[in-house]
Chains A and B, each alone.
Chain A
């Protein structure tokens, strides 16, 4: 995912794991249990060629609430285990 903040990360994350938390869309009540990660999370970032990462994500990462995003997604993953 490339979400910009913790709340959107939580919403996207929950939607593709336990189903749409807002019960507004087609994934309401649909449990997909997909493993969900942000592109800037260290374990994902480490697998990308560094020059390409800087070119594609580097600038955006500077303004993202990374720690809050990572924390929100860790909780989503823990709750779907």
Chain B
């Protein structure tokens, strides 16, 4: 999966990796982030 020029949804989780962190990484790989969330199940 090449992220360049892809639109991605960043589904983060508080106990894992935050959505904002995924979004920054994806953008650095050339992707466009269309939705970014961080869920918390506590």
Contact = CB atoms under 8 A, between A and B. Distances in A.
Say which size band chain A's interface belongs to.
Answer: 20 to 34
- The majority secondary structure among interface residues of chain A is loop
A47 B2 contact: yes
Residue of A40, A43, A47 with highest tally of chain B CB at under 10 A: A47
Contact of B16 (A49, A56, A60): A60
Contacts, number: 70
Interface in A41-76: 43-44, 47-49, 52-53, 56-57, 60-61, 64
A30 interface: no
Interface of B: 1-4, 9-13, 15-19, 21-22, 24-26, 28-30, 38
